[in-house]
Amino acid sequence: MKKYGFVMFSLLAVGLLGVACGGAPEETPRAAPASAPVGTAVITGVVNYTNGDPDTAIDMNADPVCLTLHEDEAQTQKVVGDPGKLGNAFVYIKSGLSGSYPVSDEPAILNQEGCMYSPHVSGVQVGQRLLIRNSDPTLHNVHALPTVNAEFNKGQPFQNMEFDHTFDKPEVMIRFKCDVHPWMSSYMGVLDHPFFAVSAADGSYSIDKVPAGTYTVEAWHETLGTKTMEVTVGDNAVAAANFDFAPASG
């Protein structure tokens, strides 16, 4: 019996090893690939907008302090840009990337200036430091309304107050509002890579250091919605991706 027991044990041990090794999904490693190299390609283009309605003015009567901060009437910053062009559009690589990318050491800055958020549209990386500042001599509260990340709502009663925040999940876009000044809003795209840009007043944007590949690039605008495009770009090449927005019908 002893002998058979030993044979059984050996057999089973071998068998179990087989199960253990064969069953282990070594061929499908779960670890994320190591940091992907930053590329050399550039995606650039212009965001066009036909038939644009002009930006509208803000009534800041509710807070006299805000009124004193502006010589002219402040504009909402919603639809901005030169004629036929669209600024404040957030353009980013929506899909097609793999791997992880280093997080910028530079903090992103969200300022409250003249009872307005500045910038009105911006982007930040997951884990990147976001510095939020109040440059106004009045109370603001920074109320972020994410759906994936955690909500926060911090009061900044004093001029030049600052605080840091980092988002830990990608989310496009997160709206910021100020409950004291209902006209104030800002939108921020949180991405797990550095390939995004905000279009300038002439509608132009440029996303640098992109690895060669084929990507879905999306342009997001606060009131006009989103447009996507497939873009293929090789090393050291420049790919153009222009987006055309039109006023929402109806």
Partner 1 sequence: MVAPKKTPDRHYDFTRMNKWFAWSSLALLLITIWMVVEDYAKPWKRLQAEFRDLERQKLAEEAETERQRLNQEEIDRIQAEIEAEDTRLEEQSAELDELRDRLADLEDKVYEADVDARTTKSHLDTERYQYDAALQTGDPDKIRRAELALQERRATYLANRMSLEAYIEERRMVKAEIDRKLEGLEADRKRLAEMRGGLESLETRVAGLSKSVDYFLLNAPLMDMLGPQLKIDQVQLPGLYQNINFTSVDRVDRCVTCHVAAARAGFDGEGWQEPFRSHPRLDLFLSSSSPHPYTRFGCTTCHGGLDRATNFARAGHSPEGEEEKAEWKHEWGWEKQKYLDTPILPAKYSEAGCIGCHAGNVWTPGSRIQDTGRELVSRMGCYACHKIDYPAFSDLPRPGPSLNKVASKTNAGWAYKWIEAPRDFHPTTFMPHFFFQENIQGELNEERQRAEIRATVAYIWDRSEKIDYPVPPAGSAARGELLFNSVGCTGCHLLDGEATRDQFFPQINRMHGPNLIRTGSKVDPGWLFAWLKDPKSFNPETRMPSLRLTDQEAADLVAYLMASRDPAFEGLSLPEVDGEVRDELVLAYLQSTRTIEQSQAELAEMDDLQRDVYLGKETIRKYGCFGCHNLDGFDDAKPIGVELTEEGSKPIHQFDFGHIHDVPHTRHDWIKTKMLRPRIWDLGKERVKDYNELYKMPDFGMSEREAEAVVTNVLGFTKESVVTARRADQMPEAAALAEGRKLITRYNCQGCHLVEGAGQAIKTAIEDPGMWPPNLAAEGARVQGDWLFGYLHDPSSESMRPWLSVRMPSFGFEDGQVNALLAYFAASENRQPFLSAPVRADRRSLAVGKGVFAMLQCAKCHPAGPIDTGAVSAAELAPSLLLARDRLRHDWVADWIKDPLSWVTGTKMPVFFTREDDGEYSSPLAQGIDLPMWSAEKDRMLRYFDSEAELKEYLANADNVTTAMRDHIWWGLEGGS
Please tell me whether residue 155 binds partner 1 under the rule CB under 8 A.
yes
> Which region among 45-53, 94-102, 159-167, 192-200 touches partner 1 (by CB under 8 A)?
159-167
The C-alpha atoms of residue 213 and residue 100 are separated, in whole angstroms, by 15
List the one residue from 33, 54, 61, 83 that touches partner 1 (CB under 8 A). Answer: 61
What is the rounded (10 degree) CA torsion for 243, 246, 247, 250?
-130
62 binds partner 1 (CB under 8 A): yes
Q: Using DSSP bridges, classify how beta strands 171-177 and 185-191 pair: parallel, antiparallel or unpaired.
A: antiparallel
Selected range binding partner 1 among 17-25, 80-88, 100-108, 110-118, rule: CB under 8 A: 17-25
Out of 73, 179, 192, 230, which residue is the one contacting partner 1 (CB under 8 A)?
179
Mention every residue, 6+ apart, whose C-beta is less than 8 A from residue 92.
Answer: 123, 172, 189, 191, 195, 196, 197, 207, 217, 218, 220
In whole angstroms, what is the distance from residue 133 CA to residue 112 CA?
6
Q: Which stretch binds partner 1 (CB under 8 A): 10-18, 43-51, 104-112, 240-248?
A: 10-18
Cβ contact 159:195 at 8 Å = no
Q: Is the dihedral of CA 197, 199, 200, 203 positive or negative?
A: positive
Q: Considering beta carbons, is residue 7 or 201 the nearer one to partner 1?
A: 7
Q: Identify how many contiguous H helices and E strands the chain contains and give both numbers.
A: 2, 17
Under the binding rule (CB under 8 A), the answer on residue 28 touching partner 1 is yes
What's the min distance (Å) between Cβ of 117 and partner 1?
A: 15
Residue 140's closest CA among 178, 176, 174? 178
Choose the stretch contacting partner 1; rule: CB under 8 A; options: 21-29, 39-47, 78-86, 117-125: 21-29
Please select the residue that binds partner 1; options are 102, 137, 225, 234, rule is CB under 8 A: 137
**Interface residue list for partner 1 (CB under 8 A):** 1, 4-5, 8-9, 12-13, 16-17, 19-20, 23-26, 28-31, 61-63, 137-139, 141-143, 151-159, 161, 163, 179-180, 182
